Amino acid sequence: MGNFAKVRDGKVVQVIVAEQEFFETFVDDSPGTWIQTSYNTYGNQHKLGGTPVRGNYAGIGYTYDHVNDVFIEPKPFSSWILDESTWLWESPIARPTDGKKYRWDESTTNWVEV
């Protein structure tokens, strides 16, 4: 079994689990393309030590970058920057590592203790 994302206009609109053979007989008249994704891939790393598949596991609302052949989660804040080695969004300022809880405040573009 594999995981497949339906991509329409660069956006993931559906994700299913199916055998590759399913697509040989499956009739889908809706626009879009089915692209394989891996449940074990996150941050361009394979959780089990295998080869990562398309940067990240696809989710509904994710973007599919066909040039780089990767799935990218929605941008959480306008100030965040895409790391093209992990294909994850990162804050412009590193999160403090002092053991306290923080949330991102977009209006100040900084971490705020909660």
Amino acid at 71: F
Condensed to tens digits (0 to 9), the pLDDT of residues 3-28 reads 999 999 999 999 999 988 888 887 78
- Please state the pTM of the whole predicted model: 0.89
Residue 70 has φ and ψ, to the nearest 5°, of -140, 155
Task: Provide the 3-class DSSP secondary structure of residue 29.
Answer: coil
Condensed to tens digits (0 to 9), the pLDDT of residues 32-75 reads 999 999 999 999 999 999 999 999 999 999 999 999 999 999 99
Q: How far from the centroid of its chain's Cα atoms is residue 78's Cα?
A: 17
Residue 83 has φ and ψ, to the nearest 5°, of -85, 110
